[in-house]
A = this chain, B = another copy of it.
Amino acid sequence: MDNIEDYLAGTRQRVEEEIRALVPADGRHTGGLYQMMLDYPLRHGKSLRPAIALACCRALGGSEAAVMPTAAVLELYHNAFLIHDDVEDRSEKRRHEPTLNRKHGVPLAINVGDGMLAMVMRPLLDNMRTIGLGRALRVLDVVARMARETAEGQAMELGWIADGYMPRSLCEYTRLVHKKTSWYSFIAPLLAAATIAGLDRHGAQRVGRLGVPLGVAFQIQDDVLNLSATSDTYGKDGDGDLWEGKRTLILMHAIGSADPAERAHARAVVAKPAGNGEEQHARNAADVEFLRGLIARHDSIGYAQRVARRYARRFEAGLHALAGDWVDSPHKQFLFALAQYTVGRAA
């Protein structure tokens, strides 16, 4: 796992430089907008998405210079999503610090996210000069699709929470994750990088599809960490998912395994409406305690981890089939290490 951490750290540094170059340093008459834009990106996130884009492009023979602007765009998008997601979930902590909504209030946080979404157009248009018109347009298409898929996934989950609906099958769950997580975190970085490296449409899509199972493995592990890690190692609100009523595979399994009486109670708890944006949480401490107990009794975390490992292996097998003839390199090794990293990471 050392190598992967080194690779991520190396990418992080270059992405931060790239983002600093994209965001104007002069904040005169802009209400501190650009300083706030840099807040999340400079909190030392994982830089996972840009690292995947960089590794994929270079493993396929593309250059670092060609992919870095797009990698930075993906990181900016990710951080803009996080800002809006933190507002939507009323989260208090992100990467060990107060969320932007906590620091500056909801209105400014929404606007900072909007501003970041406005910053991505320039580097994507400038791509035309470095990778040519055709590839640059295909990358723009990937990013546009990514933004739509993510909004659709977010709408699905928020709609389920608003309707008190809990998905019942792994298929329903993975359809949600495909949109809300896999697309922007894995499919888009792989697809854009393969495009930049020069693969044709069909070839790039085969690479992009590897992001589907990887996203499921990643999201499940994220939900596991939310429930098992302490706030210290995790950097977000502990048990936040249970308070929010997030539709996780862990909770689905616990409810599906419960006896009829407990199941009915659990369904009622997760169906509590989140309200119209004023009160803090729909569920109380007793509700969260009850769900925690249910999850423990049915070893739902263990179940979720087994499913995550299955999807990680699926990604690994797909990568083997596809990348067998790629020249060996640290970049290819990074991609192969992702399977283990995704389900083994502690943050």
Residue of B nearest to A152 (CB): B30
A238 at the interface (CB under 8 A from B): no
Q: Contact check: which of B102, B121, B140, B160 meets A276 at CB < 8 Å?
A: B102
B151 touches A104 (CB 8 A): no
A127 to chain B, nearest CB (A): 12
The reply on A264 being an interface residue by CB < 8 A is no
Write out the residue numbers on chain B whose beta carbons fall within 8 Å of the beta carbon of A87: 106-107, 110
A322 within 8 A of B: no
- Within A79-117, the residues touching B (CB, 8 Å) are 84, 87-89, 101-102, 104-108, 110-115, 117
Chain B contacts for A128, CB-based, 8 A:
137
Query: Given A140-B125, A151-B115, A175-B29, are A84 and B110 neighbors across the interface (CB < 8 Å)?
Result: yes
Q: Which residues of B contact A346 (CB under 8 A)?
A: none
- Convert A142-163 into 0s and 1s, putting 1 for each residue whose CB lies closer than 8 angstroms to a CB of B: 0110011011101111111010
Secondary structure class of chain A's binding surface, majority of residues: helix
Total copies of the chain: 2
Report which residue of A106, A115, A274 has the largest number of chain B beta carbons within 10 angstroms of its beta carbon: A106
Is the CB–CB distance between A121 and B106 below 8 Å?
no
Pair A277/B155 contact, Cβ less than 8 Å: no
- Cross-chain contact B155 with A84 (CB below 8 angstroms): no
Query: Cβ of A17 < 8 Å from any Cβ of B?
Result: no
Most buried by B among A137, A143, A159, A277: A277
Judge if A122 is at the interface, Cβ distance under 8 Å. Answer: yes
Bound form: Cα–Cα A140–B84 in Å = 24
Chain A interface size range: 35 or more
Given A31-B157, A107-B274, A114 and B152 contact (CB-CB distance below 8 Å): no
Which residues on the B side are within 8 Å of A144 (C-beta)?
Answer: 118, 121-122, 125
Instruction: Kindly provide the distance from the CB of A82 to the nearest chain B CB, expressed in whole angstroms.
Output: 12
Q: A88–B111 contact, CB under 8 A? A: yes
| A33 part of interface (Cβ distance < 8 Å) | yes
A36 to B118, CA, bound (A): 22
6 nearest A-B pairs in the assembled complex, by CB-CB distance = A118-B147, A31-B155, A115-B151, A106-B277, A31-B159, A88-B107
Interface residues of A (CB under 8 A from B): 29-33, 36, 84, 87-89, 101-102, 104-108, 110-115, 117-119, 121-122, 125, 128, 133, 137, 140-141, 143-144, 147-148, 150-152, 154-160, 162, 175, 179, 274-278, 280
